[in-house]
Structure 1
């Protein structure tokens, strides 16, 4: 997956977040459903942003960015900001 593909997935997930919030506001989803689906989307977004950072780091180090792999959610979510 290259940067273009990653950015497309990020955009899709951001649109999903907006749709979930709208569905909650319109009463189409319960708060629990919205929260669960938002958490899933946010975790996937975190993985994708991490993958972009890995690719950039590899490129800057003269390595092949295609060797970067998505890390598990538990690992990505455990990072300190």
Structure 2
């Protein structure tokens, strides 16, 4: 009941061919193949120009690592859970 026989798939294929026509389906397959080739070609390119401009910049934030005391106006002591100490 869960799987279709070969006859079911042939009927589905016939309906799809009647609706879209063989020319439109072959055109879609050609466009798909061109897209896949273009994607693979762009994945092979090692010198990515869009990322080369930002490669030398430092990270944008300046947050201290965890456990480092911070300086500022709020000098509240916190516990390990992040809640203020009593």
TM-score, structure 2 length as denominator? Answer: 0.34
> Structure 1 or 2: larger helix share?
1
**Larger CA Rg, structure 1 vs 2:** 2
Q: TM-score, normalised by structure 1?
A: 0.36
Work out which structure has the larger RCO, using CA pairs closer than 8 Å and 6 or more positions apart in sequence: 1
